[in-house]
Amino acid sequence: MNVLVIGGAGYIGIHTVKALLEAGHTAVVFDNLSTGHQEALARLPAPVPFIRGDVTRAEDLERAFKEHPVDAVMHFAAKSLVGESMQHPAAYYHNNVLGGVTLLECMRAHGVKTLIFSSTAAVYGEPEAVPIAEEHPLRPSSVYGRTKRMFEEMLEDYRRVYGLRYAALRYFNAAGADPGGALGEDHDPETHLIPIVLQAALGLREAVTIYGTDYDTPDGTCIRDYIHVSDLADAHVLALEVLSQGAGSGAYNLGNGSGFSVREVIETAERVVGRPIPVKEGPRRPGDPAVLVAGAEKARRELGWRPRWAELETIVRTAWEWHRAHPQGYRTARAGAPPLD
């Protein structure tokens, strides 16, 4: 199928473009490069057309739909930082909600009826029980989570009234890097635990600060369900294929179903890198739930999804291979800097 990938130059988007190409689909990447990296496209197994555009601008989207055949859309273009969303809600409503409806209207105008959407575990808020099933009430505790829930609600209305077919994929903690070494995580600023731990291991930052050691968990630190980015990518391809075969629309949790504490992640990283990593203990980060673990049976059952890199150690190892070879992210690739060690 011909897939238009909105936000396809970002972390999860580019891994999914690679998975699409490997599965025999074609892709066109549309990205405003606010957080994505054009350099990443050159590292794909085949050339992919690129359109620099913004999802909130109908005229940019129009170009993509006019210039390329589009059978389905994957939508990754969102602002996605919980803390920032609480400080700058307008930017989140503009990008994630207005951008979303602009995209849906463009799809409708061009008769494109299939959409795979990047949703998030943040739609659930503080869980009543873990693992969290898709039926769990959606009570997001951040603006970010609310914008994602709103778009999921829009998808359901577009399904009911206009016949949209969609899958909303609720990611837990995306982590790791392309096992082939071509692609990886490159955020500025970086806020996610695993890259921060590995940057501390590389001496690129003084230490990793543990945000809170007084949670009601066995070692006092937060527990999360880390899922390999290439496994997320596979789930998008499967969702596309299942939807095109006539499956019903809906939401799917994407996680491994097992939780690891911040301390366990750091210990795993120390094993992978083979040396101690400098750690500090700090206060809790506002808005962090103590435990988030996916009940991800539905994706396994209905999409036939089988995560291939489920072990935390494998996830951290692929991330380590990327970070030590690209300490400055894709900029390192451009400068051709040699790998460390």
Catalytic residues, by residue number, are 144
Contacting range for ligand UFG; rule: CB under 6 A; set: 23-31, 119-127, 252-260, 269-277: 119-127
Does 120 interact with ligand UFG (rule: CB under 6 A)?
A: yes
User: Which tokens sit at 112?
Assistant: 């494109």
Taking CB under 6 A as the criterion, the residue among 288, 297, 302, 311 binding ligand UFG is 288
Nearest of 125, 116, 126 to residue 151 by alpha carbon = 116
> Which of positions 168-227 make contact with ligand UFG (CB under 6 A)?
173, 191-193, 196, 208-211, 222, 224
User: Which tokens sit at 265?
Assistant: 């992640």
Q: Do the beta carbons of residue 115 and residue 73 sit within 8 Å?
A: yes
- Measured CA angle at 188 (ends 254, 222), to 5 deg: 45
Taking CB under 6 A as the criterion, the residue among 3, 9, 122, 319 binding ligand UFG is 122
> Which of positions 2-41 make contact with ligand UFG (CB under 6 A)?
none
- Name the residue whose CB lies closest to ligand UFG: 222
Separation of alpha carbons 26 and 270, rounded Å: 39
Separation of alpha carbons 334 and 201, rounded Å: 23
If the CB atoms of residues 53 and 125 are measured against ligand UFG, the closer one turns out to be: 125
Residues contacting ligand UFG: total by CB under 6 A: 21
User: Which residues are bridge partners to 227 per DSSP?
Assistant: 174
> Which of positions 226-285 make contact with ligand UFG (CB under 6 A)?
262, 285
If the CB atoms of residues 6 and 292 are measured against ligand UFG, the closer one turns out to be: 292
Does 87 interact with ligand UFG (rule: CB under 6 A)?
A: no
C-alpha atoms less than 13 angstroms from C-alpha of 280 in its C-beta half-sphere: 10
Does 80 interact with ligand UFG (rule: CB under 6 A)?
A: yes
Q: 213 in helix, strand or coil?
A: coil
If the CB atoms of residues 43 and 192 are measured against ligand UFG, the closer one turns out to be: 192
Nearest of 21, 32, 1, 4 to residue 183 by alpha carbon = 21
DSSP secondary structure letters along 304-330: ----SS-SHHHHHHHHHHHHHH-TTTH
> Which of positions 40-59 make contact with ligand UFG (CB under 6 A)?
none
Which residues contact ligand UFG by CB under 6 A? Answer: 80, 82, 120-122, 144, 173, 191-193, 196, 208-211, 222, 224, 262, 285, 288, 292
